[in-house]
Amino acid sequence: MTAGTTGIAAPAPATEIPAPLVRVEGLRIRFGAREVVRGVSFTVEPGRCLAIVGESGSGKSVTARTLVGLTGHGAEVTAERIEFAGHDLQRLGERAWRSIRGREIGYVLQDALVSLDQLRRVGDEVAEPLRVHKRGTRAERAAAAVELLAAVGVPEPQVRARQRPYELSGGLRQRALIASAIALDPPLLIADEPTTALDVSVQAQVLDLLAEAKERGRALIMISHDLSVVARMADHVAVMRQGEIVEQGPAEQVLHRPQHPYTRALLDAVPSEHTRGQRLVRPAAGQPVVRRERAPIDRSRPVLDARGLTKVYTGPDEVVRTVVDDVSFQLYPGETLGIVGESGSGKTTTARMALALLEPTAGEVLLHGEPWTALTRAQRRSRRRRIGVVYQDPLSSFDPRWSVGRLLVDALSTGPRPPASAEEARARTVRLLDQVGLSPERFDAAPLRLSGGERQRVAIARALAPEPEVIVCDEPVSALDVSIQAQVLDLLTDLQDELGVSYLFISHDLGVIHHMSDRILVMKDGRVVEQGDADEVFERPQHPYTQQLLTALPRLAAA
């Protein structure tokens, strides 16, 4: 497959600094009265990668979509210049746009699960750009799809091409999506959060794939909120905030010698081994950096003691799967135990058994040395309040018709000191809101109207209300932007210092786990492969799997 033959993409001249393939100057985008992009300029050269970094709503995706003329319904786009290979994109008609899309510019959308048509075969999806641009016969296109899948490292490409996207794992799906975008080997590839929601090892494979396209001289625009991913890929970084590029320059400079305070805050907010024991949210100018004072953990009596937890499922296809296999751990008062592992490793199943929401096939969990999972439901009820939970998506665990106040009052009444009067309930709820950094006005708010970070604060307040000794946090920050994530992680740390609550902290994000945990449990295929002190595990991983995970982890060098 070769690049397009329309002549729109002239081959890059073989000079040291190639001429820009994309040149955007003064781009403004508004939806009605709302201006979402305000005067953005950048260039991308062949064989180089521009990373646009920013939080959700910063305008980065809409900027990228403008480059393929798909800004969105009702968008008003103006710019001094939007050029691709010397052609003015602002003057293209719909037909000309269609000849560019897929052939000159490949676009990889975020989240392959929803970005591939689930009802069509993977092969048809991958080969669709060929069909749209009338390349080859049906049989040739089918063969090309298999070749493309093989080229992006999909094993058994012939089999996969006949399957449908939902039958593939997340990593394979993402690779299929990329295969489709590079089917016509376009000179420019735009990837919008190509590795979000992928496990680290899969993420590394996908990044390698994009790096390979870059080596072949393709220009790459990558959109990401993940700075460590950006550090690995980008030659040039543009930091976007509220529709403006606040800082841009060579990657090395932006990531290591950031000039703008926002870039600095963004970099500080990334949890990693370097951030342990310090706050992620940068203190206001002039305020000293406070290091966390940790009281020594008393390891004589565990609050939560899991012994040989095993969960076996028999699927509808009568295949027996051992999802969790002989998992044991102890969680001590005031401690954070991190459970890390890739999707399908049994983390969440373990958490559900610890919460006694799921009956173990074998083994048991003791709470304060007393039976917990072995109790009957009725016996458990009086102790239920001692162990709370915070999920990734709090909204699905809120009754959508209840106000924040009602949710919290309800949670308080399950605690050891149920409020005696409506006034007391209100006062204690307001105190809870204050504890998690929400204003008293939030009492009457509907959870639906809150931002993601605020919802997670409400979820934490609800977990705290019945004064538990343990809170199970199941991917509590995975859906949040890095700066919001930083605030929530800081909040959890503060609450632990203040209340002495223990966390069973589950995450697929090694940086988050390392930042938060005192001890770590590494899970793979339902088994614990490594367990120990957090620094110990990260610095001297014993098990090959842990070593592999840490190698695959893209990192920001120490700031």
Partner 1 sequence: MSTAAPAPAARLRRIAGKLLSAVLVLLVAASITFFVQLLLPGDRATVILNIRNGRDQQWPAEEIAAINHQFGFDRPLIVQYLDYLAGLLRGDLGTSYTEFRPVTAVIGAQLLPTVVLTVGALVVAWLIAVTVTLLTVRRGRILGGIGAAFEAFTASLPHYWVGMLLLVAFAVQIPIFPVIGGDTPAGTVLPVLTLAVPLSGFLGQVLREEFHKVLDQPFITTARTRGMSDAAVRLRHALRHAVLPGITLSGWALGALVSGSVIAESIYGRPGIGQVLVTAVNNRDVPTVAGIVLVVAAVYIVANVLVDLAYTLVDPRLRIS
For the bound state, the minimum distance from the C-beta of residue 170 to partner 1, rounded and expressed in Å, comes to: 12
Tell me: does residue 76 bind partner 1 (CB under 8 A): no
For the bound state, the minimum distance from the C-beta of residue 171 to partner 1, rounded and expressed in Å, comes to: 14
**From the list 20, 47, 59, 106, which residue makes contact with partner 1 (rule: CB under 8 A)?**
106
Residue in 492, 539, 480 with CA at minimum distance from that of residue 514? 539
Where do we find the tokens 């206001």?
284
Residue in 121, 195, 185 with CA at minimum distance from that of residue 159? 121
For the bound state, the minimum distance from the C-beta of residue 313 to partner 1, rounded and expressed in Å, comes to: 9
Rounded CA separation 330/504 (Å): 10
For the bound state, the minimum distance from the C-beta of residue 108 to partner 1, rounded and expressed in Å, comes to: 9
Tell me: does residue 142 bind partner 1 (CB under 8 A): no
Rounded CA separation 546/557 (Å): 20
For the bound state, the minimum distance from the C-beta of residue 185 to partner 1, rounded and expressed in Å, comes to: 14
**Burial of 278 by CB count in 10 Å (0-12 exposed, 13-18 middle, 19+ buried)?**
middle
Tell me: does residue 476 bind partner 1 (CB under 8 A): no
Strand order in 527-533's β-sheet? 387-390, 470-474, 502-507, 336-340, 519-524, 527-533
**From the list 81, 138, 294, 321, which residue makes contact with partner 1 (rule: CB under 8 A)?**
321
Where do we find the tokens 């001890």?
519
Rounded CA separation 513/271 (Å): 8
For the bound state, the minimum distance from the C-beta of residue 316 to partner 1, rounded and expressed in Å, comes to: 6
Tell me: does residue 87 bind partner 1 (CB under 8 A): no
For the bound state, the minimum distance from the C-beta of residue 336 to partner 1, rounded and expressed in Å, comes to: 29
CB 289 within 8 A of CB 283: yes
**Burial of 114 by CB count in 10 Å (0-12 exposed, 13-18 middle, 19+ buried)?**
exposed
For the bound state, the minimum distance from the C-beta of residue 73 to partner 1, rounded and expressed in Å, comes to: 8
Contact segment (CB under 8 A) with partner 1 among 159-167, 211-219, 292-300, 433-441 equals 159-167
Q: Which is nearer to partner 1, 128 or 469 (CB)?
A: 128
Residue in 217, 211, 151 with CA at minimum distance from that of residue 187? 217
**From the list 144, 181, 210, 409, which residue makes contact with partner 1 (rule: CB under 8 A)?**
181
Q: Which is nearer to partner 1, 100 or 200 (CB)?
A: 100
- Strand (E) or helix (H) holding 403: none
CB 168 within 8 A of CB 115: no
Tell me: does residue 290 bind partner 1 (CB under 8 A): no
- List of residues 6+ apart from 94 with CB closer than 8 A: none
For the bound state, the minimum distance from the C-beta of residue 166 to partner 1, rounded and expressed in Å, comes to: 6
**From the list 76, 117, 156, 252, which residue makes contact with partner 1 (rule: CB under 8 A)?**
117
Rounded CA separation 60/244 (Å): 9
CB 280 within 8 A of CB 489: yes
Tell me: does residue 185 bind partner 1 (CB under 8 A): no
**From the list 63, 180, 205, 435, which residue makes contact with partner 1 (rule: CB under 8 A)?**
180
Size of the site for partner 1 (CB under 8 A): 40
Tell me: does residue 114 bind partner 1 (CB under 8 A): yes
Contact segment (CB under 8 A) with partner 1 among 161-169, 297-305, 459-467, 551-559 equals 161-169
Contact segment (CB under 8 A) with partner 1 among 209-217, 227-235, 318-326, 486-494 equals 318-326
Paired residues of 67 in beta bridges: none
Tell me: does residue 116 bind partner 1 (CB under 8 A): yes
**From the list 56, 115, 201, 242, which residue makes contact with partner 1 (rule: CB under 8 A)?**
115
- List of residues 6+ apart from 196 with CB closer than 8 A: 110, 111, 224, 225, 226
Helix or strand or coil: residue 520?
Answer: strand
Tell me: does residue 167 bind partner 1 (CB under 8 A): yes
Helix or strand or coil: residue 488?
Answer: helix
Where do we find the tokens 């510019």?
105
Q: Which is nearer to partner 1, 105 or 202 (CB)?
A: 105
Angle at 267 between CA 264 and CA 268, to 5 degrees: 85
| Buried b or exposed e, range 185-202, using 16+ CB within 10 angstroms | bbbbbbbbbbbbbbbbeb
Tell me: does residue 320 bind partner 1 (CB under 8 A): no
Tell me: does residue 2 bind partner 1 (CB under 8 A): no
User: Within 297-316, which residues bind partner 1 (CB under 8 A)?
Assistant: 315-316
Tell me: does residue 101 bind partner 1 (CB under 8 A): yes
Rounded CA separation 38/29 (Å): 7
Tell me: does residue 171 bind partner 1 (CB under 8 A): no
**From the list 55, 128, 268, 342, which residue makes contact with partner 1 (rule: CB under 8 A)?**
128
Q: Which is nearer to partner 1, 14 or 320 (CB)?
A: 320
Tell me: does residue 164 bind partner 1 (CB under 8 A): yes
Q: Taking CB under 8 A as the rule, which mask of x and - marks residues 326-345 in contact with partner 1?
A: ------------------x-
Tell me: does residue 47 bind partner 1 (CB under 8 A): no
In the complex, the residues that contact partner 1 under the rule CB under 8 A are: 65, 68, 70, 97-103, 105-107, 109-111, 114-120, 128-129, 132-133, 164, 166-167, 177, 180-181, 315-319, 321, 344
